[in-house]
Amino acid sequence: MTIDEQKLHALVGKMITELGAAANGVLLLIGDKLGLFRALREHGPLTSASLARRTDTNERYIREWLCAQAASGLVEYDPATGRFSLSPEQSAVVADEDSPAFMGGGFQSLAAVFANEGRLTHAFQTGEGIGWDQHCNCLFCGTERFFRTGYKTHLVNDWLPALGDVVEKLKRGARVADIGCGHGASTIIMAEAFPESEFIGVDFHEGSVVEARAKAGKLRNIRFEVGRAQDYAGANYDLVTMFDALHDMGDPVGAISHISKTIASDGTLMIVEPMAADRLEDNLNPVSRSYYAFSTQLCVPAALKQEGRAALGAQAGEKRIAETIMKGGFSRVRRAAATPFNMVLDARL
């Protein structure tokens, strides 16, 4: 076999980039945990000594950490002053949790993935599933932080208005079930925006429900319950939502079927799923690359742990998701909205 030297060097260069990104991942997590990025955003430009003083950390570690971030293009460095700072764009990605571009939660989730590598390797060999509750808690926290930024930006302003008459119903007072709510970010955002409506968040993971209740605080129009998508309580819901959760379910048709029995005759089902084309060759891009990786590590193992073991995966695509919804008893499905990271499907009975 003859090796093309030009292609080899290009591939080695790509792998060096990959290695640097993977190695810096843990440093991004540390920077997020210790507030290093936030301090640079609020007080920069700073020297390594100044940043260490502001964050009560060790200067020698901070100096090397700053060098790594500057080499990664995530922090600016001024050779004339020896100071480091964040550009507005860098701040939006690594320091501002209210920014729709904030990525800190994704790296927090990666910590759980690496911690569970041994179990995942074994699952590859046996076909066993790995439940979300079998990962360390940082996975739940990181997942909420990763998706919450998009929900805060788009849910009330763009996605709900794209569902026809739904916003008017919510303003008047509607019954809403948010299935697979996790820590309740999506449920809380809706409940705060529509105080006349009643919101019920449902998740099978008791620890997440406890956390959601704490985050909801004193909101009077919201409650959280432990339950499965296939048999949660209640009926006659005006709106049922499912945010980035359907593809994680072992029996997604069973979940949709139960929703069809609990939704009002004129109700709306809103399914938010990761953005994906229907064909693999159309998903060979940076966004799908990340989703395929997380799907291999988290979503497919979660589905294989549950009854049904359907394992749609995080890149199932609109066609397969729509077919699943139709099999569950809905007659109409359309794409109502989209971002580079999510598609929003509107389903009616």
pLDDT of residue 137: 72
In a shared domain, residues 333 and 261: yes
Give the residue carrying structure tokens 């397969």.
Answer: 320
User: Does the pLDDT at position 138 exceed 90?
Assistant: no
In a shared domain, residues 166 and 74: no
For position 82, which CATH number holds?
A: 1.10.10.10
In a shared domain, residues 81 and 157: no
Q: Total structural domains in the chain?
A: 2
Indicate the pLDDT class of residue 288, thresholds 50, 70 and 90: very high
In a shared domain, residues 86 and 179: no
Beta bridge partners of 269: 240, 347
Note whether residue 325 is domain-resident.
yes
pLDDT tens track for 142-160: 889 989 999 999 999 999 9
User: Does the pLDDT at position 139 exceed 90?
Assistant: no
In a shared domain, residues 342 and 220: yes
Question: Distances from the Cα of 79 to the Cαs of 37, 83, 87, in angstroms?
Answer: 19, 7, 16
Mean pLDDT of 114-132: 94
Note whether residue 239 is domain-resident.
yes
Domain extent for 50: 5-96
Note whether residue 293 is domain-resident.
no
Q: Which two tokens stand for residue 349?
A: 């009975």
In a shared domain, residues 52 and 183: no
pLDDT of residue 1: 82
Note whether residue 127 is domain-resident.
no
pLDDT tens track for 255-268: 999 999 999 999 99
Give the residue carrying structure tokens 């580079």.
Answer: 340
| pTM of the shown model | 0.91
Note whether residue 52 is domain-resident.
yes
In a shared domain, residues 46 and 175: no
User: Does the pLDDT at position 108 exceed 80?
Assistant: yes
Q: Residue 153 contacts by C-beta under 8 Å, 6 or more apart in sequence?
A: 100
Question: Distances from the Cα of 20 to the Cαs of 16, 17, 156, in angstroms?
Answer: 6, 5, 38
